[in-house]
Amino acid sequence: MITSLYVLLQDWRESTNDRQKLQQAYVVGGVALLIIAGLIGLVDYSLGQLLLQIALIAIAIFFINAIVWALLTAFVLLPLSSQRQTTSSKQKTRTRR
């Protein structure tokens, strides 16, 4: 069981980049806090409400981070990579002449 969990975590580490890992950690943390807040809210209402607020903040951070990364990718990273490709193709044609 532990070895299969270890293999699963290694595959996850190799197949995802750091941004995806961060996003997945926010989701897992937010959902876990949401469930814990519900269970604790059955015993202590005020502590459950506090944990619920923390969980909602974590979920909000996930959505804000996702939107920022989408905008950054669309408006900065993709144009930069296309400029690099254009520049490298121009340099190749110059050296061929």
pLDDT at 18: 83
Confidence band of 93 (pLDDT split at 50, 70, 90): low
Q: How far apart are CA 15 and CA 21, in angstroms?
A: 10
Q: Where are the domains of the chain?
A: 19-92
Range 32-55 average pLDDT:
92
pLDDT score recorded for residue 5: 85
67-72, long-range: CB < 8 A, 24+ apart: 69/19, 69/23
Against a cut of 0.85, is the pTM above it? no
Q: Band the pLDDT of 46: cuts 50, 70, 90.
A: very high
Q: Tokens standing for 70? A: 């989408």
